[in-house]
A and B are shown apart, each in its own frame.
Chain A
Amino acid sequence: MMDQGARDKTASGQEVSREDELNEARRAFMRNIAAASVISLGGGLTLFTVGGSQAQAKKPEEPLDPKKRWGMLIDTTKCSDGCQKCVDACKQENGWEAEPHSPHDVQWIRKVNVKDPATGFMMSLPVMCQHCANPPCVDVCPTGASMQRADGIVRVNMHICIGCRYCMMACPYKARSFVHEDIPEEKKRFHAPMGKGCVTSCDFCAHRVDAGKIPACAEACPEGAMLFGDLNDPNSALSKRLKGIPSYQIREDLGTDTGIRYTRLP
């Protein structure tokens, strides 16, 4: 269900007519890129998958649609322990690096391994900003820098972030990072600015979503286990799928109403 086919739909879930698409050879090539997720061209330059660009949910110059609420269903049954593809794709797309176990480095997404001590059951799942409908980080921010866009994406407006880190205290998911050091020019990515003294976190690849693409992690997942779409549109692939199966939120008890749902939680 959520294999390559899911990617042929626009982010808002409408089928793209096949006729409109480029020739078959190119499509095959796109798939390959999606599998590779990122193509290094040497010299530190990277080229990103062009695959999503056909799926125009929103044109770049249009304002975002407040009727939408972006969300994602992560099929944790397909998510394997050792796989880090979504994390690697995010690192590439958004230009962060993190030493394993470093408490200083920026982390937008991580894989968490969970074990039930009573039964020995184990599973692995990606955790990032959960794009809550009731985000505690937005409530606590004194300046309003921690913000929720009209389409549900939660992010930091770093232009008015004073670096107080109260949002990091408030986030139940450890999704936010503080930039502890200057980021050198060559490590910066144009579409994910971040810098010393401000807080940063997963923004659902807002720059991609605004141009009608899907987030880099979803595009990179080799199992197609991350289905991105509009939670408010009953016809989106995401909504249809969510209607058919049970899905769960991390710390649902907190009432944050996360935009990220999982098909199974430990």
Chain B
Amino acid sequence: MRALGKYVAAALVTGVLGVGAMPAATMAGEIGPKVPIDKSKGSCVLPGKEMRRVHMDILKHRRDLTMYQGIRGGKQALEACLTCHMVKDEKTGKPVTVASPKHFCRVCHDFAAVQPDCWTCHKSVPEAAVREAMIGPDGKMKASMMAQLRAFVQREHGGRK
């Protein structure tokens, strides 16, 4: 009777470990879906392999730096992640939001069944990308945009000084 108990326990333990091993592997980033990567904008905060494992810690650390220290900008900014990792819709050419399973942050998360709550508050497409289109790399506004704005101001505010 006792021997039987031992077998059952052993079987249970193996079973639990076996099941547990699957998500553990996913967490470590070894198995997982292929993620769309665009290397044209530069390298990630850390090499891709490490990012898979530690990106949540980077985000949480950064989030506290921003909340308590007012540190902003740079590669670790959430907006920067989303800008580099923007996935465009094939048809419309617009960046996809988290509503789409193609969104960079959803590809693995859907697979690993994690649902971080970030998107109840955070916008999932960068606004900087929008600004980038208007402001050149030198930080000045692009000439075409400038003309457009000038026209707008003229129209709306009648040249008010």
Contact = CB atoms under 8 A, between A and B. Distances in A.
Size class of the contact patch on chain B: 35 or more
B149 interface: yes
Centre residue among B65, B69, B121 by max chain A CB count within 10 A: B121
Interface residues of A, number: 46
Contacts of A39: 149, 152-153
B2 interface: no
Contact of B148 (A41, A64, A149): A41
Given A39-B152, A185-B97, A190-B128, A211 B121 contact: no
Interface in B100-134: 120-128, 130-131, 134
A182 interface: yes
A182 B68 CA distance: 26
Interface string A22-59: 10000011011101100111000101001000000010
B122 A193 contact: yes
A188 B123 contact: yes
Contacts of A158: 121
Contact of B156 (A36, A50, A151, A210): A36
A61 interface: yes
Centre residue among A58, A61, A150, A158 by max chain B CB count within 10 A: A61
A35 B130 CA distance: 22
B70 A193 contact: no
A29 B160 contact: no
Given A29-B150, A47-B149, A185-B97, A64 B69 contact: yes
Contact of A185 (B72, B123, B153, B156): B123
Contact of B68 (A31, A32, A62, A149): A149
19 contacts: A29-B150, A31-B161, A33-B149, A36-B156, A50-B141, A61-B72, A63-B69, A64-B70, A150-B69, A151-B70, A158-B121, A159-B63, A185-B98, A185-B125, A188-B122, A190-B79, A193-B121, A194-B121, A209-B70
